Amino acid sequence: MRVLALSGSLRRDSLNTRLLRAAQELGGPGVEFISYDSLATIPPFNQELEHRQPAEVHELRQRIDAADAVLIATPEYNGSVPGVLKNALDWASRPFATNPLRGKPVAVISASTGSFGGLWAQNDLRRILGTLGARVIDESVTVPLVHTLVDGVGELAHPETSDGLEGLLVALGSELARVPVEAVA
């Protein structure tokens, strides 16, 4: 299973990017992660350019299309999804009928220094992805108070988080096996 790993944070030391790395380490045999870390290069969405998409958008769409599944880690900014992540999804969704997320299995994870673990952003992101036609799996991982779970070398060190991520990856693989993407498209 080829999984596109996408962090909704631009910060170099992002806790959500660390959460994605933790998931990648738990992937096991048969799971290949492809990281996408060029979110900052995507220009603001402009519907007038929808049919002449910038190269950065074309690359994102190709990465989504080449993946079997997508794993998105979202921080929570002002109670919702970061603007750069929403912007990237707006671009990826055009043209709507043939967007690369349509029928694609997607999982959402989040980490936050707050006590809800980015749950509001995660709920908004799941709604957005569903609107785009993605097959958003029910399983999710939220990590509240994530700053208290980082070890001395800056990695997440928490058994419950690891168990949750392992279960999420299994569920993502099961969703991929359930209905081939080609049959949905």
**Is pLDDT of 85 > 90?**
yes
Q: What is the pLDDT of residue 139?
A: 93
The answer to whether 89 and 42 have CB atoms below 8 angstroms apart is no
Q: What is the pLDDT of residue 161?
A: 84
Q: What is the pLDDT of residue 180?
A: 56
The answer to whether 96 and 131 have CB atoms below 8 angstroms apart is no
DSSP 153: T
For residue 142, what are the β-bridge partners?
A: 110
pLDDT digits (tens, 9 = 90+) for 18-55: 899 999 999 888 899 999 999 999 999 999 988 888 99
Give the DSSP letter string of 43-111.
Answer: PPP-GGGTTS--HHHHHHHHHHHH-SEEEEE---BTTB--HHHHHHHHHHT-SGGG-TTTT-EEEEEEE
CATH of the domain spanning 2-184, picked from 3.30.465.10, 3.40.50.360, 3.40.140.10, 3.40.50.300? 3.40.50.360
For residue 143, what are the β-bridge partners?
A: 111
Q: What is the pLDDT of residue 51?
A: 86
